[in-house]
Amino acid sequence: MNNVRPSCERIAPLVPYDPKYLPAEAYLSANENPQDVPEEVRREINRRLKAMSFNRYPDPLANGLRDRIAEANGLERECVLLGNGGDELLFNIALAWGGPGRTFLNLPPTFSVYEQNARLTGTEIVNIPRRDDHSIDEEAVLARVAEGGIDYLIVASPNNPTGKLASEEFLLALLDATDALVMVDEAYFEFSRMTMRPYLARHKNLVILRTFSKAFSLAGVRLGYILGDPAIVTEFIKVRQPYSVDAVSQIIAETVYENRASFERGIVSIIEERARLIEQLRKLPEVKAYPSDANYILFRAEGAGEVWRALYDRGILVRDFSAAEHLTDCLRVTVGSPEENERFLTALKEVLIERRKA
């Protein structure tokens, strides 16, 4: 037969996630770390990889790495689960807490993968849009969860792409107000230094998501993890792919985690550069730069789509959100190395001056 029946009905309208990665001279679009893993850590990784068996399956739960993360967080192994990037765990929450007849509460604009996974799993989505300044409409969220029927929600803190942390008071009120599973996505935690971890013991419905992709320079390796109650972790384990965290990734992440202190200088530099970038962006009359607790800055400029193109023509790739709902005329720039940031600022100034003349 030279014909095939259509895929499942709810898949048909979905559009695959597109990171919009294009060749460029300065990659400031994906919130990656501008520094790669330090040379001495790479040497140790290479040494350990030489001793690895390629022909054997990896430890399905990556218990070596799990124990290290658990210990560093004052938790038991059973409270930690690794995933193939935070992305896999975001998929798993939709599989385990979503599904037909179940409801996900979303706070757009936020990380688009949350909504995509809900749609993929046939989960109903209730949207409570953020206010104009991108802060969470806290009263509306608390009122909605009080009505009941929400199965899970995800609060990115800091939020991507808007940049700010959710307030701790709000998150605690939310955890008290609902029995829904509340995931606090702390993918950018190392740049905000704020975490809900101390509240895990008191709130069984809290699960925290973290990643190695940002502060620890491992976006290419694909490792993320959750911290939560063992009963929650068990449900995530039921829906995961058994060997999603491969042996190479386990070795790399273990070595990086043991040496995490050597990433601290880079993190501090990103935090300092973030302040400098915001200060410089705020000097440009055409630009509205939003505050940030992460390693990126969202900014608004009229004709953002054209500004994006003109920056790209100068070798600088930022992320274009100008066509996204709630983000009209917004671009997001990742905090890069001081040289990359300078290049971006110089190019942006040039582009804006040209547009003034036009």
Binding site for ligand PMP (CB under 6 A): 31, 85-87, 111, 156, 160, 185, 187, 211, 213, 219, 224
CB 6 → ligand PMP: shortest distance, Å? Answer: 29
User: Residue 346: which of 276, 270, 280, 271 has the closest Cα?
Assistant: 280
**54, 55, 228, 307 from 160: Cα distances, Å:** 37, 39, 22, 21
Instruction: Specify the residue, 208 or 310, whose C-beta has the smaller distance to ligand PMP.
Output: 208
CB 50 → ligand PMP: shortest distance, Å? Answer: 27
For the chain, how far is it from start to end, CA to CA, in angstroms? 59
Torsional sign, CA 94, 97, 99, 101: negative
Instruction: Specify the residue, 85 or 266, whose C-beta has the smaller distance to ligand PMP.
Output: 85
Torsional sign, CA 300, 301, 305, 310: negative
CB 147 → ligand PMP: shortest distance, Å? Answer: 27
Please identify which residue in the block is written with the tokens 């390693």.
Answer: 295
Instruction: Specify the residue, 86 or 352, whose C-beta has the smaller distance to ligand PMP.
Output: 86
CB 285 → ligand PMP: shortest distance, Å? Answer: 30
CB 134 → ligand PMP: shortest distance, Å? Answer: 14
Instruction: Specify the residue, 157 or 341, whose C-beta has the smaller distance to ligand PMP.
Output: 157
Residue type, 7: S
User: Residue 41: which of 261, 315, 338 has the closest Cα?
Assistant: 261
Instruction: Specify the residue, 111 or 344, whose C-beta has the smaller distance to ligand PMP.
Output: 111
CB 86 → ligand PMP: shortest distance, Å? Answer: 3
Instruction: Specify the residue, 19 or 198, whose C-beta has the smaller distance to ligand PMP.
Output: 19
Please identify which residue in the block is written with the tokens 């330090």.
Answer: 38
Which residue minimizes CB distance to ligand PMP?
Answer: 85
d(Cα 267, Cα 190) in Å, to the nearest integer?
Answer: 7
Please identify which residue in the block is written with the tokens 């720039």.
Answer: 333
